[in-house]
Structure 1
Amino acid sequence: MAENWALVRRRNALRKRATLLQAIRLFFIDHDYLEAETPHRIPAPAPEFYIDAIPSGDWFLHTSPELCMKRLLAAGYEKIFQICRCWRAGERGSLHIPEFTLLEWYRSDSDYRDLMVECEALIQSVAAHSGMGESVPFHGRAINLSSPWERISVGEAFDRFARFSMKGALDRNLFDELMVKEIEPRLGMERPTFIYDYPAERGALARLKKEDPTLAERFELYIGGLELANAFSELTDPDEQRKRFSSEEARRRS
């Protein structure tokens, strides 16, 4: 067999991937999670402004298993996880492809701060199981995985790294551009960084903060400038969710 065949050269990467997937499953099983498998084809995707689904006949390939897994959560399954293929239209670049593997998990009676703690424990466990220990090499630097991981609010990140405040960026319609160009490349360069409390309009499915309803209880995790996780406290008010879905649909049509 020709050693220069691309699939042959990827053997080590595939073995490492298999080890990582096994470590992820072991973590969730050890923490009393049930592994779920939900349909890949769904009648309608969630109306999210920045995510487009790929049609499959009269239905769609799911962009994530979120909607189906939330039905399980509502049915009383308290701790569930899934590793599955997902599809999103128009996402191709150095960091994105239209078809990819996604880990999704849910636990009832918890909020985004609980999930930060669990996310930190998950990655540390996977790194240990895979023989990486507390230091992960990435693009010529070592990322320290030992606790505590950095936690900064979105507002603080804009004040620290961007040329406008968070409010100034929103007013100028520059929020996403500044996040991508000025903030994200600086996050998680020495140790993983959680960035939390996003503007309410950037958390369509997230619960708003009681003390400040202009902010959503949402976080993203960055390691080496790359976003690895996105999570939030679940919105459980059906009337508010319907209102937000209608708003997202209106934005998509505009």
Structure 2
Amino acid sequence: MARHKPAAIVCRLPIGSRATVAGRVVNIDGGRVRLVDGSGALTLSLGHVSPGAPALGQLVQATGVWDGTALVVETRRDGVAPLDSFPKAEGDYAHFTADGGRRVANLHRRAAVLGAIRVYFDQRGFLEVETPLMVRSPGTEVHIEAFSVDGGRDRRFLITSPEMHMKRLLGAGLSKIYQISRAFRRDEAGGHHQPEFTMLEWYRGFADASAVMEDTENLVAAVAEEVRGEATVQVAGRNVSVAPPWHRLRVDEALLEYAGLTLSEVLPDEERFFHAWVEKVEPALGRDRATFVTHWPASMASLARLLPDDPTSADRFEAYVGGIELCNGFGELVDAREQRGRIEAEVALREAEGLPAYPIDERFLGALEEGLPDSGGNALGVDRLVMMVCGEDRVSEVMAFPADRV
């Protein structure tokens, strides 16, 4: 048979056009059959074509002539009929086609978002790279837990981020790189989290956090314009502008404005800080306009450098859209001695708190010892961006198979 066309395209063909379609039977009314594919639905007029009428749920490929209301079938090939009643209440077909096929439409939008991301970086001279998903060290951050992988000659872990390997590429001379990668974190659950998710990371050598912040606002605006037709996204039913420039706010300013607290009141008690941040500050950030939060306390620097003109603050930013954190970026720490000291302190803290011990990534530290350029980098949650572009409230609604449907 000829290559099939999407149902939505066939329905717009001139009367008398010949076409081949393929899809699933969702309704049978005498000699007329309703067929659905990923683009939409159309009617098949079977007439006296052999074989007889297909079963409900059966996959069918048919060739015929479009008469303006139905495809008058001349030849047909049927797939295997469903063994049980169709559709199953908890089956994939019912799941994806519920609410008028909303989840299928979201997958199309997701593909458009990924395409727009690649266009943005490719047009600006970035190189797309791939780094390992299974590594010897997943990092040592205290608040992130990794999945271990068994069966190899030595112990490995699924990555929690591609960060360290991408920085090794910076050290090898690749100064503008990006990656759309799967990442894995244990104990990640909730409307905006999944244990397996998609992360966009990019790095600019010979740059700082401000250059990456500019990338971020321009990228998100470009994605929204491509997929939605305007530089807005939707969070909890509310339109949020992502048009540059984004609002900028320091951590101490945000804490005072939305929680009525000063940094000196809550630090060094980080538990108290994060309780106030999550309960009072975060929900208020970026409600109408995307917002960068900068100048994080030095104790929360992670892999960011300290600001040269303010060593009490890290060269780190987070972006919030509609009260949801979208990304976490740094002016990267490239001092090998300081980085080793921070990692060793994290290892000791993990041990003190009874957390699993992860190896130190000596190859990463070796790359720092050879020398990395001053760099800016960012890690952006792709699932959250797609969720906002689609106007959904949960990332699971924009993933083909979230954890509870694997």
- Whether TM-score is above 0.5 comes out as yes
Residue 244 (1) aligns with residue 331 (2): no
Q: Which amino acid aligns with 1:22?
A: G
Residue 40 (1) aligns with residue 138 (2): no
Question: What is the rounded CA distance, in whole Å, between the counterparts of 2:181 and 2:258 in structure 1?
Answer: 35
Q: Which of 216, 223, 234 is the equivalent residue of 1:137? A: 234
Structure 1 partner of 2:95: 6
Residue 205 (1) aligns with residue 310 (2): no
Alignment of 1:21-170 (within 5 A): 21-57=114-150, 58-170=155-267
Q: Which of 276, 285, 290 is the equivalent residue of 1:187? A: 285
Q: Which of 255, 268, 288 is the equivalent residue of 1:171? A: 268
Q: Which amino acid aligns with 2:157?
A: F
Deviation of 1:93 (Å)? 1.4
User: Which stretches in structure 2 are left out of the alignment for 5+ residues?
Assistant: 1-56, 58-86, 353-406
Question: What is the rounded CA distance, in whole Å, between the counterparts of 1:120 and 1:62 in structure 2?
Answer: 26
CA RMSD of aligned residues (A): 1.4
Deviation of 1:233 (Å)? 0.4
My pick for the range that moved more, 73-82 or 160-169, is 160-169
User: Which stretches in structure 1 are left out of the alignment for 5+ residues?
Assistant: none
**Sequence identity, in percent?**
41
What per-residue deviation string (whole Å, max 9, x for no partner) do you get for residues 126-165 of structure 1?
A: 1111133123232222112223210000011111111421
Q: What TM-score do you get using the length of structure 2 for normalisation?
A: 0.61
Q: Which amino acid aligns with 1:39?
A: P
Question: What is the rounded CA distance, in whole Å, between the counterparts of 1:240 and 1:171 in structure 2?
Answer: 21
Question: What is the rounded CA distance, in whole Å, between the counterparts of 1:172 and 1:70 in structure 2?
Answer: 31
Deviation of 1:4 (Å)? 5.8
What per-residue deviation string (whole Å, max 9, x for no partner) do you get for residues 13-72 of structure 1?
A: 100100000000000000100000111000012111111111012110000100111111
Question: What is the rounded CA distance, in whole Å, between the counterparts of 1:16 and 1:136 in structure 2?
Answer: 13
Q: Which amino acid aligns with 2:219?
A: L
What per-residue deviation string (whole Å, max 9, x for no partner) do you get for residues 165-224 of structure 1?
A: 122112343111111111110001010000011011111210101122111000000001
Question: What is the rounded CA distance, in whole Å, between the counterparts of 2:217 and 2:144 in structure 1?
Answer: 26
My pick for the range that moved more, 58-67 or 134-143, is 134-143
Runs of 4+ in structure 1 off by over 6 angstroms are none
Structure number with bigger Rg: 2
Q: What TM-score do you get using the length of structure 1 for normalisation?
A: 0.96
Question: What is the rounded CA distance, in whole Å, between the counterparts of 2:199 and 2:139 in structure 1?
Answer: 17
Deviation of 1:253 (Å)? 1.3
Number of aligned positions between the proteins = 254
